Amino acid sequence: MIYKSVHTGPKIQFGGLNQGLLSVGYQLVTDETVAVDPKTAANELSEMAPSNLIQSILVRFIRFTLSSMKPFRYKIKTHSHFYFLCDTILSMRAKWVVFLIFIAAVTSSFVWVRETRRPVISPLQEGSYKKILSVFTVRKDPLILKKKVQETIDNTWNNYSVYVVDFNSNFTMGINENEIFTAASVNKLPIMAAVYYKAQKGEVNFDQIVTLQPEDIQDYGTGSIRYDAPGTTYSVKTLMRLMMQKSDNTAAFLLGNYIVELPAIQSIISEWGLTQTDMVNNKASNHDMYILLNKIYGNNITNAALTAEMLGFMRDSDFEDRLPGELPKEATVYHKIGTGDGGIIHDVGIVVNGKTAYYVGIMTADIPDPENAAKLEAKVSKIIYDFMN
């Protein structure tokens, strides 16, 4: 099909156009298959109106494309009305076609220029991918951990408490966490926290000297000061270290009676929210010990330097067979044990490994076999550690 121009408006100018392209363009538009003189081709093409020229090229292009689709070639050739439809649409809407092509070309060029000039920016801010991925992260189910702990303990203990709180999420798992037990040496934690709290305020001097009197000696349980002669002197800092690392009962007595007395300690920890801890009667709950250790670990009692010192005393203890017993070496455990008559085998603390940090407390009563109880606590601690990691 050849489109004869009746258009009297502006003609297309081909000045400077490559002669070879003129011949090819002429053949494309007119269906001629013989070589054409470039000057003749230019004259013929320039006689066509722009819209007719473009629609002629579009028709040839559509026909060529469709006829090249081998799976459909037979159907297309036998359906000549399809060609007729293409020609009719283009002839009726030639002006619209040209207009739309022009708009598309201008818009594409504008977008391309903007995109090439736009600086490349990461679509996600640093750390945003973690928030997105967290949507697909399977949350830890406290019921699963609770079941594992209960199945491990089974009927070995009849009276116990296990409490786990993740410091990096809202995960908690509790078994009798609000039950009040005889605290034994676990209540040395409030003594330490209160003394350091007073030291932070300038009311306690760690270099102050305390002289041991005969009536001060607590001749039971753990510790070495009870074997020292009356009149022996100790700094407050030395007493603190012995109380926490050796669980020295005489050191705790000296600190709780001469440095910060028990009623003052009780007042301080009550303000901190420890409502189930009784310093005079030596009582505490797992939940209260979590509140206290959470405040210590979060630098909410002292500055970072004094906090590090407290944690250091809790890390380097002589009693590592319970919570830390089966944990890998890369895990750091800040903890305090408690052992007493009536089957009291406690250990409460904070476990840290890389980005993992959680409170874990195990408190018991009426345990007939303390040695095996410590081993069972170590096993339970390992189950919790594996679950939290």
For 287, the token pair is: 């939940």
- 3-class state of residue 5 by DSSP: coil
pLDDT value, residue 82: 46
Q: Phi first, then psi: give them for residue 272, nearest 5 degrees.
A: -80, -5
pLDDT tens track, the chain, 389 positions: 443 434 444 444 444 444 444 444 444 445 444 445 555 554 554 555 555 555 555 545 445 444 544 444 444 444 455 445 445 544 555 555 555 665 666 565 544 445 444 444 444 444 444 444 444 556 889 999 999 999 999 999 999 999 999 999 999 999 999 999 999 999 999 999 999 999 999 999 999 999 999 999 999 999 999 999 999 999 999 999 999 999 999 999 999 999 999 999 999 999 999 999 999 999 999 999 999 999 999 999 999 999 999 999 999 899 999 999 999 999 999 999 999 998 999 999 999 999 999 999 999 999 988 889 999 999 999 999 999 99
pLDDT value, residue 297: 98
CA 158 to chain centre: 37
Task: Give, in degrees to the nearest 5, the angle at Cα 223 between 222 and 229.
Answer: 135
Q: How far apart are CA 169 and CA 358, in angstroms?
A: 9
Which residues of the chain does CATH 3.40.710.10 include?
Answer: 142-204+260-388
Residues 6+ apart with CB under 8 A from 377: 322, 323, 325, 345, 347, 362, 364
pLDDT value, residue 103: 66
| DSSP state at residue 255 | I
Q: Phi first, then psi: give them for residue 228, nearest 5 degrees.
A: -80, 155
pLDDT value, residue 368: 86
Reference 272, options 261, 288, 257; nearest CA is: 288
CB 23 within 8 A of CB 36: yes
| DSSP state at residue 288 | H
Q: How far apart are CA 136 and CA 169, in angstroms?
A: 16
Q: How far apart are CA 319 and CA 378, in angstroms?
A: 12
pLDDT value, residue 370: 85
Q: What is the 3-state secondary structure (H, E, C) of 310-377?
A: HHHHHHCCCCCCCCCCCCCCCCEEEEEEEEECCCEEEEEEEEEECCEEEEEEEEEECCCCHHHHHHHH
- Going by CATH, does the domain composed of 142-204+260-388 fall within 3.40.710.10? yes
pLDDT value, residue 316: 87
Give the residue carrying structure tokens 């895990």: 331
